Structure 1
Amino acid sequence: MSRTFPSLSNYKLSWVLLILVAVFCWQLKYFHNRYNNYKIFKYVYSHTTEEKNLYADYPEEYYDSNHYGPVFSVIVAPMALMPDAYGFLVWSLLNAVVLIWAVHLLPISTKNKALLLLLSAMEFANAEHYIQFNAVIAAFIIFSFILVEKRKEEWATLFIVLGTLVKLYPVVGLVFFLFAENKWKFIWSGLGWLAVFIALPMTISSPHFILQSYADWFNILQVKNGQNVNLTSSQDICLMGIFRHVTRNPNIPNTPFLIAGAAIFGAALLRFKQYASLQFRLQVLCSVMIMVVIFSTGSEHPTYIIAVPGVFLWMLTQDKPFSRWNIVLLVSVLVITSLGPTDAIPALIRRGYVNKYVLKAWPVVAAWLVISYQLLFKDFIAKEKQAALPAEDAKQEDELALA
């Protein structure tokens, strides 16, 4: 007597992998009482309801300090109200499920979705190990792009505004305004969501406290930015940080790099005729997911779950995804970027080279330069027309055969 068992496709197995990574990291951290970051996040809720400074130090509750916006208190509230074991587990699973959902909605083949999740799994594990919210931040950027593509600008701006008021990075989604069919809807819905999410935490606190908290948040981010720029920080894993660490000069300024990056990206966005190409628009998505990390002094090891999917999304949507150059880049990202700062690399190499020269950023910066070159000079429209010709010829042949 035979028995049939349900089987999972490779694509759905990639979902299972990310969920298992989330559960593994949860149990590793929870049962060893090493979940300080989750404590920081959950206390944002109680500190908001008690109107206690959200950015002060509370050594009796946790070490380090909060750097998320006041609206985060509402997002974390359901988990904060649970016992730690359950709230922390939901937090971990939330990161996995939201990222999977975002990738699932991308306008690429199922095979490429599976590969994108698999290739990003190690970087996802890094983010989960450090109990970060960055996987959701990456998903918010992807959601905003997808919803603009679907002509649902009013929902795209929800993710841009909410994400920005939590952790600034999703502000790059404003670039997708250029691709929006209804630009007035994008503007007015964005302003509407801004009012909603600024006011939302006032429902569990007071207007005065929340407005003061936004001012405090702005101030603490300025202080933190100054603290990031030094040769011993675990942050500053970015383009500017590469130059500071290689030259051993912490005084190299950010401004020239930011101006150069904005000029390169801005020049690509002036190619208005290319907007008709989905490949061009997807590549802009990839570029902003990388830029927001490599041009930020706040970038650290677990932040790269935002950038790395951008690298692999670009690679998988190329005409020849696994060319010799792309394979070298793929291996570099997996080994240097994803594994480099971990215990998988011998301490002598990790501390003496990977951390000392912020090698984690190097392959991602290289990918961004290639993406930028293509955005500046590649004719995406001509490429898509050329790819469409064989399909049209085949259709005509089928019609003649039927006649």
Structure 2
Amino acid sequence: MLKKLSAFFSKEYAILSVYVLASIGIALQHYRGGPDKYNNFVIFRSSVLHLLHHQNLHLEYPDEYFDLFLYHPSFCILFSPFAFLPVSVSIVLWAIACSLAVFYAIKCLPVSYKSKCFLWWFILVELTTSLHSQQTNPLIAALGLFTFTFLEKQKPKWAALFPILAFCIKGYGLIFAAMFIFYPKKGQYILYSLIWLLVLTILPFPITGTGHFVQVYQDWFDILLADHKNNFGFSVMGLFKVWNPNLTDADVTRIQLAGLLLLATTWTLNLIKNTFADESRRMLLLAYLFLWVILFNHASESPTYVIAVTGAALFYIVNRDFVKPWPTVLIVLVLFFSMLAPTDVYPPSWRNEFFKPYLIKVIPCLLVWAVVQFELLFIYEKQPALSSTQY
């Protein structure tokens, strides 16, 4: 019986069905709770109307929603297909779109089917957490995976599109473009990146016209600067803030600069030593980016961890064939203390008095990042092939 169930839930159509049904269930749950339960979705819908009416996208509109719109102006255009349908329909379609993006990004990865099944099921828990917030984090994770896949296929024109798309949703999504340095056709990649950036940047122009176009981007730039103040997030900086309540904005900047220096050092050493010849090493570099961009992001929240957890899962499939048990230990810690921490698996008192105030969710992903950092700086042995297909 168990073998039959395992075989059934290893089938692609069964996993896809779970993704779609989970998306529908979560979307309807929040829709029934009223606008306060899908506030982020209201923000996205309203931003499209604000752009049409030449209003500042990034002001407070307390009569419509709480919080601020922090996204790129072009996101309004990308989201517009969901803005003019009835809320009950569009919120379901939005949740399904986010889930399908992750599902097909994993499906396209150049790894074995066994690894894809692991990724699909492992990430699902964190994906549902993100879907509850109606945010764009699953899309950012999917675009990072698509970047890797198309770089592996040596299709720089399309590989260049995905980090730019991610940037035009949330600025930090551009980080995945850093992978291009380990692949051939670098000139083509840079050229197409500039072309895609130009195309996506001018998306709002038909609506804004000449007069309002520059102002839209000035407003966006201003809100990005303001968003950095007094914000520590579910991040390395947030952990330091827990340990030292006197941490300042200047300290946040210093920690982020140290993280940036580590990233630059890691990329430079791997490039100089030419360690990226095998696919597993390149995927480990990708896992590093998925973890780094959340751990050193002052705006990280619990729902953004669908990105970091994806990095942890990539780390695991690269390392799980080694005899040492530490990859399994780390991934179990991620499951129980990062992914399940905000869920009803634990009593509310644990969640509200321990997991959340002490940012326990951050710690397992930080441990994985530290191990990946060590591997990329000090271990250069060839790792097991991820699949029989090499791009």
Same fold (TM over 0.5): yes
1:146-161 matched pairs, under 5 angstroms: 146-161=149-164
Deviations 1:267-319 (A, max 9, x none): 33222311211111100110001100000010001000111011011102215
Instruction: Indicate yes or no: 2:105 matched with 1:93.
Output: no
1:180 Cα shift?
2.9
5+ residue gaps, structure 1: 1-6, 230-235, 389-403
What is the Cα deviation at residue 37 of structure 1? Answer: 1.1
Check conservation: 2:150, 2:159, Cα contact below 8 A: yes
Separation in structure 1 between the aligned mates of residue 91 and residue 362 of structure 2, nearest angstrom: 29
* Residue 138 (structure 2) aligns with: 135
What's the counterpart of residue 58 of structure 2? 55
**What RMSD over aligned residues (CA atoms) do the two structures have, in Å?**
2.0
CA contact (8 A) 2:136 2:169 kept: no
Q: TM-score, normalised by structure 1?
A: 0.88
Secondary structure in structure 2 of the residue aligned to 1:271:
helix
Does residue 266 of structure 1 match 2:264?
yes
Change beyond 3 A, Cα 1:352–1:322: farther
| Maintained 8 Å contact 1:307/1:364 | yes
The list of structure 1 runs, each at least 4 consecutive aligned residues, that deviate by more than 3 angstroms after superposition, is 321-324
Report the count of equivalent residues.
374
2:198 aligned to which of 184, 195, 198:
195
TM superposition score normalised by structure 2: 0.90
For residues 200 and 381 of structure 2, the distance between their equivalents in structure 1, rounded to whole angstroms, comes to 38
- Give the structure 2 partner of residue 395 of structure 1: none
Residue in 1 that maps onto 2:4: none
Pick the aligned partner of 1:255 from 253, 256, 260. 253
- Is 2:244 the counterpart of 1:243? no
Partner deviation per Cα, 1:147-205 (whole Å, 9 max, x = no partner):
11111111111111121122012211221121231111111111111111111111233
CA separation of 1:15 and 1:306: change in aligned 2, threshold 3 A? same
Q: Which residue of 2 aligns with 1:45?
A: 48
Q: Which residue is equivalent to 1:145?
A: 148
Mapped partners of 1:83, 1:243: distance in 2: 44
* Residue 379 (str. 1) matches residue 376 (str. 2): no
Seen in structure 2, the aligned counterparts of structure 1 residues 366 and 356 have a Cα distance that, compared at 3 Å, is same
Give the corresponding residue for 2:3.
none
Matches within 5 A, 1:119-130: 119-130=122-133
Structure 2 counterpart of 1:296: 297
- Code of the aligned partner of 1:303: T
Q: Offset at 1:323?
A: 5.0
Q: Which amino acid aligns with 2:174?
A: V
State the alpha-carbon separation in 1 of the partners of residues 221 and 160 from structure 2.
22
Stretches of structure 2 that go unaligned for 5 or more consecutive residues are: 1-6
Conservation of the 8 A alpha-carbon contact between 1:161 and 1:171: yes
Change (3 A) 1:210 1:162: farther
Give the equivalent residue in structure 2 for 1:394. none
Give the Cα separation in 1 of the matches to 2:66 and 2:253: 32
Cα-to-partner distance string for 1:11-43 (whole Å, 9 max, x where unaligned): 423322222221111110012212111110011
Letter in 2 for 1:251: T
Larger Cα Rg: Structure 1 or Structure 2?
Answer: 1
Separation in structure 2 between the aligned mates of residue 366 and residue 72 of structure 1, nearest angstrom: 33
1:77-121 deviations in Å (ceiling 9; x for gaps)? 111011111111110000000011111111111111111111111
- Tell me the distance in 1 between the aligned counterparts of 2:53 and 2:77: 14
How many Å separate the matches in 2 of 1:198 and 1:64?
Answer: 24
Letter in 1 for 2:307: I
User: Distance between the aligned counterparts of 1:16 and 1:377, measured in 2?
Assistant: 42
- Which amino acid is the alignment partner of residue 157 of structure 1? A
1:2-401 matches, within 5 Å, as 10-12=10-12, 13-33=14-34, 34-229=37-232, 236-251=233-248, 253-269=251-267, 270-272=269-271, 273-320=274-321, 324-381=325-382, 383=383
- Deviations 1:364-392 (CA, angstroms, capped at 9, x unpaired): 000000011111122244x469x99xxxx
Which region of structure 1 is more displaced relative to structure 2, 147-156 or 286-295? 147-156
2:65 aligned counterpart, secondary structure: coil
Q: Displacement of 1:9 after TM fit?
A: 5.7
- SS of 1:40's equivalent in the other structure is helix
**Partners of 1:11 and 1:113 within 8 A in 2:** no
Following superposition, the deviation at residue 256 of structure 1 comes to 3.3
| 1:162 partner amino acid | L
Write the letter of the residue equivalent to 2:265: A
SS in 2 for 1:67: coil
> Which residue number corresponds to residue 4 of structure 1?
none
